[in-house]
Structure formats: C-alpha cells, structure tokens
C-alpha cells in the first residue's frame, strides 16, 4: 500500500496549499461578508447592515475598509460600527471607513456596520426600457464601495451572502444559491442568497426587478436560469437558452464549474455583459441580439477565468479578458468549424493593429492604475486572446489544454499574476516560456514585416527578405507558402534572407498563426493571394 499512502500525502499537500486571495502587504484579509439591504419603491435610499469577518494578518490599532461617504446627497452615511454588540469608534473619509479597533495578528473579528444612503454609483437604480423600476449591481472595476463596505480590490476574495428586503412584487437574483425567500408583511419580501466560493468585489451582485424566470436546463447538474423582463419573455427565454450548450462545453475543456448555478440576467449594466459570479448581467437590448451567443460564450468563460481564477492586479487584466476572448473563439471554432476561428483571429488581429497605432503600451500595463476603464482595450482583449492562440500553436494542443486545466485547478478560488500563469504553462509544456511571455506581453508592439521577393541573379531563382521594422526584433516562426509549398521560417534577427525558386506565388501566414502586419512586394507577375 505504499503508492496509495504516497498519493494521499500528495493529495493532502495539494489541499493545504492555499492560493493567494488578499491584498499583498495589507493587514486584513476578509473571510466573509453578509450584507442585509433594504430597498424601497418610495425613494432611492438603501439601508444596509454588513457583517464582515476579517482575518488580521498583522497586529493593528485601526484598519480601513472602502466605502464612499456622503457628499452632495449621495454616498453612504455610517451610523454605527459594532463588534459583539459593543460600539467601536470609527470615522469616514472620502472613500474610506476607518475603524479604531485593535486586533492581534492571526485573529479573526466580525465587525457589524450599519449605514444608509443613495448610491452614487455601483448599484444602478433606474427605470428599464419598459418604464419599470429596477436595481442592478454593476461593480466592475472598483465601484462596489459605493454601496457595500468592502475591500474593493480584486486581490481580496471572500465568500458572501445577500439578504435583500424589497417590495414583494420584485424577483431578486444574486451570487450563489437562494436559500430562503419569505414574505415579511407590509408587502415586503426577504430573499437570502449565499455564495460559499471566494469572490472579488468586482463580481458581487444583486439584481432586483420584475423578472420572468426560466430554467432551460441543468447540464452537468448545474441549473441554468434565465431572468428577463416579462415583456421580453418569449424572445429572451429562447435567445438566452444557448447558455445550456456553452456551460457543459467549458466544463469538459477547463474543469468543474466553480459555482452552484448559472443565472443569465437582462439588466441595466453599463457594459455589454458583466461576468458577476454565477449571475451574469447582460445589457438591456441583448435579448434577441444577433451577437448573444458570442456574448454569452465570453461571459460564461469568465466564470473560470476572471471569476474563479482571478487576476491579482488589474494590470494583469488579460488573464480575464484575453482568456474570455480566446475561449469564445475556441467555443465557436468547435461549434462552427476551424474557418470560424481563422476568420475571428483575422478580425481580432486588425483590431490589435489599429489599437497599436494609437497606443504604444504592452499588454501587462502598469501605467493605468488610476484609469482602470482605459484597460478595457484591444491589448487586454484581442491581443491577450492572440497570445493564447500563439501559445497554443507553439506548445501544441495537448500541452496547451493540459496547462489551461492545471492553471484553473491551481488558482480556482484565488488569484494569479502573469508569471504564475507562465510557470504553469512551462510545467505543462516543458518549455522555457520567458522569452515568449516577455515579447508578447511585456513589450509593446508586434512584428511589422516588410517582405520583399526578388528574382535571383541567375534569373531562375529568388531571394526573399523579411525585415522587422518595429523597434524591438521579435522571435517567431512565420508560415510562407512559396510557389505552392508551405514552410515555416524561423525569424529572430532584424533581417532574414531565404533562397527560393523563381518568384511565382506567395502566401503569408495562411493559417492565421502570427500576430503582426505584413507588407509584401515582388517582381512583375508574382501573385500574393490574401
């Protein structure tokens, strides 16, 4: 029984490896949030009671949470902070709640915060397109602290509960599983949702509206729900039901789904979609939109990448958006065939090159800490997706998917940086991927190639010259089809010369495997099919 005991020892080691889920250097690591919120039809004020369980990583005499204070009629006013029923001193400054409470290192305290106010942002209270009142959380990137006291940073993850009291005509959806719903008199209803997985504040959510609800299926034991406005019921139930195909496809490719349900919700999000864990919000007119399958494939992919395995810093946003972009292309490749992937990669390449003309920044961009919205760009999305595509081609399908599964298994419930992802992929492939990651993710730009083909001196051969025109030469292989014969040409220097037969026809990167731009010239009569 030797092997068995070794195996179980290994399993214990794996289980006790805790992935990082707190802000580096911070004194506090939130363990659990319970938010009790009262919403009304009379006005936009919310009343909140938050119970926040905090583990102290260092001894402190005071600590702070993120919460926007009242200003010009909006924001949150804290009326009391308590621990074990005893008042604790506190103050509010701009976007911080400072709590004067001493705590020892490694101790866990639960703090109760009572507050109220009209959210300036984060919880959108407005009429939908049919004129009905709705409440939709919309936290990305760090707007949660407009309505929820929290550590509003993707690095700190915690489990959470929402206990929502609202007029009884509303349906409530939130992260996690509905564990209770009861009428409490006065035409009010309390709905309790609980999520046991670790979530970042960017994907905490509630949605409160008059909804029509459907359950199009329960693939792999995960109930899929549709929440749409009753006026859009017929079209909405049909168009959102494609989620029941996407979910099991991803489970088979990435590994188990991290949550206990998947709700797809028509909402008032400012984005096209927002990947709130287990309760994805889509823009109001997404119902019946022709891009709905693509949008759902993107947001559902985030449940693994971005939500369950998150980025520990917004400068690594490509670990969310590049993944969701590429996994969407991969899903569509599998459903509609390899030409669909090629077509989409070509389109994404154009988007990257257009963006690159305006912005000389690398994908991992540490310069936008104060302007996180600016990270929603072609570098994070399409170039991030292209990096995964090139990595897949470089290390092969088997190693690539082995690595993706290992990365998800390791960081599910925690957070990773770009180097963490690289190490997992190096382990899966056995390759040193530092140069690859450095040039594609930490260096601005892409190969800008001038390809010239001329007739050789003997009149019967050819010389093909590839010149890298961008500032930093890249190392890559480029596929060329020269006079009908395909070859993979390694390029590492500024200028690469190859001997060919007499110039006839040339095709560059026919399988769409290289992110770059190509200008091709040749002698009269040569053909360059695009």
Beta carbons of 234 and 255 less than 8 angstroms apart: no
**Cβ distance to Zn ion smaller for residue 297 or 449:** 297
Minimum distance of Zn ion from residue 324's CB (angstroms): 4
Residue 381 Cβ, how far from Zn ion at the closest point, in Å?
Answer: 7
Q: Write out the binding residues for Zn ion, residues 309-368 only, by CB under 5 A.
A: 321, 324
- Give the nearest residue (CB) to Zn ion: 324
In the complex, least distance from residue 400 CB atom to Zn ion, rounded to whole angstroms? 21
| Nearer to Zn ion among residue 324 and residue 378 (C-beta) | 324
Task: Indicate the residue among 57 and 376 with the shorter CB distance to Zn ion.
Answer: 376
What gap in Å lies between CA 343 and CA 510, rounded to an integer?
11
Longest dimension (CA), the chain: 96
173 near Zn ion, judged by CB under 5 A: no
Please report, to the nearest 10 degrees, the dihedral formed by the alpha carbons of residues 496, 499, 502, 506 taken in order: -40
Binding mask 484-503 for Zn ion (x = CB under 5 A): --------------------
Residue 246 within binding range of Zn ion, rule CB under 5 A? no
Angle at which helices 318-336 and 292-304 cross, to 10°:
130
Closer by beta carbon to Zn ion, 411 or else 476: 411
Based on CB atoms, which residue is closest to Zn ion, 319 or 424?
Answer: 319
Number of residues counted as binding Zn ion (CB under 5 A): 2
Q: Say how far apart CA 378 and CA 388 lie, in whole Å.
A: 14
Residue 294 or 426: the one with the smaller Cβ distance to Zn ion is 294
Residue 302 Cβ, how far from Zn ion at the closest point, in Å?
A: 5
Q: Quick check: 274 binds Zn ion (CB under 5 A)?
A: no
The number of angstroms, rounded, from the C-alpha of 260 to the middle of its chain's C-alpha atoms is 19
Least Cβ distance, residue 275 to Zn ion (angstroms): 6
Task: Please report whether residue 166 would count as binding Zn ion according to CB under 5 A.
Answer: no
CB 272 within 8 A of CB 290: no
Q: Do you find a cis peptide bond into 141, omega within 30 degrees of 0?
A: yes
**Quick one: 236 or 306, whose CB is closer to Zn ion?**
306
Q: What is the 3-state secondary structure (H, E, C) of 389-416?
A: HHHHHHHCHHHHHHHHHHHHHHHCCCEE
Q: Which residues of 290-314 are buried (b: 16+ CB within 10 A; e: fewer)?
A: eebbbbbbbbbbbbbbbbbbbbbbb
Nearer to Zn ion, 161 or 321 (CB): 321
Q: Least CB distance from residue 196 to Zn ion, whole Å?
A: 24
Total Cβ atoms within 10 A of residue 212:
17
How much is the CA Rg of the chain, to the nearest whole Å?
A: 26
Residue 295 near Zn ion by CB under 5 A: no
Best CA proximity match to 399, nearest among 416, 418, 424: 424
For 284-351, give the DSSP string.
GGGTT-TTHHHHHHHHHHHHHBTTTBEESSGGGTHHHHHHHHHHHHHHHHHHH-HHHHHHHHHHHHHH
State the angle between helix axes of 338-358 and 384-395 in degrees (0 to 180), rounded to the nearest 10: 130
Decide if residue 97 touches Zn ion (CB under 5 A): no
Phi, psi of 171 (to 5 degrees): -105, 140
Neighbours of 438 (CB within 10 A): 14
Q: Closer CB to Zn ion, residue 379 or residue 500?
A: 379
CA pair distance 489, 486, nearest whole angstrom? 10
Nearer to Zn ion, 243 or 395 (CB): 243
**Partner residues linked to 274 by β-bridges:** 281
Q: In the complex, which residues of this chain contact Zn ion (CB under 5 A)?
A: 321, 324
């Amino acid at each position: 029984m030797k092997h068995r005991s070794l195996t179980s020892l290994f399993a214990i080691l794996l289980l006790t490896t805790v992935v990082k889920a707190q802000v580096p250097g911070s004194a506090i690591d939130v363990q659990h949030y319970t938010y009790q919120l009262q919403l009304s039809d009379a006005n936009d004020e919310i009343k909140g009671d938050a119970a926040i369980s905090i583990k102290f990583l260092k001894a402190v005499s005071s600590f702070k949470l993120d919460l926007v204070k009242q200003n010009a009629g909006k924001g949150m006013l804290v009326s009391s902070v308590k621990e074990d029923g005893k008042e604790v001193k506190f103050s509010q400054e701009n976007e911080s709640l400072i709590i004067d409470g001493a705590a020892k290192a490694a101790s866990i305290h639960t703090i109760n915060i009572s507050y109220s106010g009209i959210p300036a942002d984060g919880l959108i209270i407005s009429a939908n397109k049919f004129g009905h009142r709705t409440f939709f959380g919309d936290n990305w990137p760090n707007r949660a602290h407009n309505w929820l006291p929290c550590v509003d940073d993707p690095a700190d993850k915690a489990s959470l509960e929402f206990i929502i009291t609202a007029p009884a005509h509303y349906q409530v959806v939130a992260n996690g599983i509905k564990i209770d719903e009861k009428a409490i008199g006065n035409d009010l209803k309390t709905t309790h949702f609980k999520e046991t997985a670790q979530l970042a504040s960017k994907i905490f959510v509630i949605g409160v509206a008059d909804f029509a609800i459907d359950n199009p299926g329960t693939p792999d034991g995960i109930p899929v729900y549709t929440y749409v406005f009753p006026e859009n019921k017929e079209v909405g139930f049909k168009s959102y039901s494609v989620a029941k195909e996407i979910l099991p496809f991803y489970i088979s490719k990435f590994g188990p789904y991290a949550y206990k349900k998947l709700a797809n919700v028509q909402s008032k999000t400012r984005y096209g979609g927002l990947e709130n864990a287990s309760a994805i919000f889509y823009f109001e007119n997404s119902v019946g939109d022709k891009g709905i399958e693509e949008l759902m494939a993107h947001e559902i992919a985030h449940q693994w990448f971005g939500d369950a395995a998150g980025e520990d810093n917004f400068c690594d946003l490509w670990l969310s958006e590049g993944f969701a972009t590429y996994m969407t292309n991969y899903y569509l490749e599998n459903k509609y065939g390899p030409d669909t992937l090629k077509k989409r990669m070509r389109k994404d390449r154009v988007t990257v090159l257009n963006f690159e003309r305006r912005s000389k920044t690398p994908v991992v961009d540490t310069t936008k800490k104060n302007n996180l919205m600016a990270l929603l760009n072609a570098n994070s999305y399409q170039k991030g997706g292209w990096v995964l595509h090139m990595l897949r081609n470089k290390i092969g399908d088997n190693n690539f998917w082995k690595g993706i599964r290992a990365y998800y298994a390791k960081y599910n419930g925690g957070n990773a940086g770009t180097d963490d992802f690289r190490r997992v992929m190096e382990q899966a492939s056995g390759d040193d991927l530092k140069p690859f990651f450095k040039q594609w993710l930490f260096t601005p730009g892409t190969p800008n190639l001038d390809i010239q083909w001329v007739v050789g001196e003997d009149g019967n051969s050819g010389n093909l010259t590839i010149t890298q025109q961008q500032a930093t030469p890249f190392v890559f292989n480029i596929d060329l089809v020269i006079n009908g014969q395909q070859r993979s040409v390694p390029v590492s220097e500024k200028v690469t010369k190859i001997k060919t037969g007499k110039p006839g026809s040339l095709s560059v990167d026919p399988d769409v495997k290289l992110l770059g731009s190509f200008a091709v010239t040749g002698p009269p009569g040569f053909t360059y099919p695009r």
